[in-house]
Amino acid sequence: GAVVSQHPSRVICKSGTSVKIECRSLDFQATTMFWYRQFPKQSLMLMATSNEGSKATYEQGVEKDKFLINHASLTLSTLTVTSAHPEDSSFYICSARSALAGGRTDTQYFGPGTRLTVL
Amino acid sequence: DAKTTQPNSMESNEEEPVHLPCNHSTISGTDYIHWYRQLPSQGPEYVIHGLTSNVNNRMASLAIAEDRKSSTLILHRATLRDAAVYYCILSANTNAGKSTFGDGTTLTVKP
């Protein structure tokens, strides 16, 4: 099956620093990747949609200058949380969409998530 | 985005079948129905998807109503490892597959 990895799995940083999270599709090419944020005991909240080679599309209420997304290749997207603050502490999850040959299914394959803690 | 409605929680006994319902009355004609499940502190895992016809795979079965306004995920024999939050979501045709997650159903499996 399609595998998506994230790195790091867990990061602790000081307030004011920037943190970069990588999302890779390991065995397929992903023209579209999604970034989600999940707070404890809540559902996933879509932050942005990232298409390879173009600017990301951010959901309403998500600051694009704070959450920088770069989708430089068909297998890699990065999310950088700039000037992180304690309220940015959350579980960040990426997904990659795989369009199967011969049809469109929009199936997403999710990474294992990155736990960010800002002190 | 088309919305889905699921019960907040369900319980099942181990080795018994589980039917997880999902209502999606505003589904559009080209929306796929996807099911994912999420264990604590992990990313969601793909379970199954369908468009109009019922689907079976090694993990589960998906029964889709004839009018497509509802669907049911069927776990034929629940195990303790099936305890998770199950999400039913629709792909939004006009947004290149963008999907909105609802609150999902928390499935508890009792031994």
What band does A54 get if pLDDT is binned at 50, 70 and 90? confident
Query: In the structure encoding, which two tokens stand for residue B93, read together?
Result: 């045709």
Query: What is the rounded radius of gyration, in angstroms, for the C-alpha atoms of chain A?
Result: 14
Greater confidence (B94 vs B57) lies with: B57
Span A20-30, mean pLDDT?
A: 91
Residue A51 tokens, joined: 């298409």
Three-class secondary structure of residue B82 per DSSP: helix
Whether residues A115 and B41 touch (CB distance < 8 A) is answered with yes
Q: Would you state the pLDDT for residue B92?
A: 62
- CB contact at 8 A, A74 and A60: no
**For A82, which DSSP code?**
-
Asked if the model's pLDDT at residue B1 lies above 90, the reply is: no
A44 interaction partners in chain B (CB closer than 8 Å): 44, 87, 101
Given a cut of 90, whether residue A101 has pLDDT beyond it is: no
Confidence at residue A67, expressed as pLDDT on a 0 to 100 scale? 97
Residue-level pLDDT at A103: 45
Which amino acid, residue A91? F
Quick one: average pLDDT of B60-65?
97
Spatial contact of B18 and B9, defined as CB atoms under 8 Å apart: no
Q: Dump pLDDT digits (tens) for B25-51.
A: 999 888 889 999 999 999 999 999 999
A97 to chain B nearest CA, in Å?
8
User: Is A70 in the B-facing interface, judged by CB distances under 8 Å?
Assistant: no
Question: What whole-number percentage of chain B has pLDDT above 70?
Answer: 92
pLDDT for B2 beyond 80? no
Q: Which residues of A touch B91 (CB under 8 A)?
A: 105-106
Collect all residues of chain A within an 8 Å Cβ-Cβ radius of residue B34: 106-108
For an interface test with A, give the residue of B31, B41, B88 to mutate (most A CBs within 10 A). Answer: B41
Q: Do A45 and B101 touch (CB under 8 A)?
A: yes
- pLDDT band, very low/low/confident/very high, at B95 (cuts 50, 70, 90): very low
- E runs forming strands in chain A: 4-7, 10-13, 19-25, 32-38, 45-51, 57-58, 67-73, 76-81, 90-98, 107-110, 114-118
Average pLDDT of the residues of chain A: 90
Chain A contact for B94 (CB, 8 A cutoff)? no
Look-up: residue for tokens 């990588």? A22
A45 → chain B, closest CA residue = B101
User: Distance (Å, rounded) from C-alpha A97 to C-alpha A46?
Assistant: 14
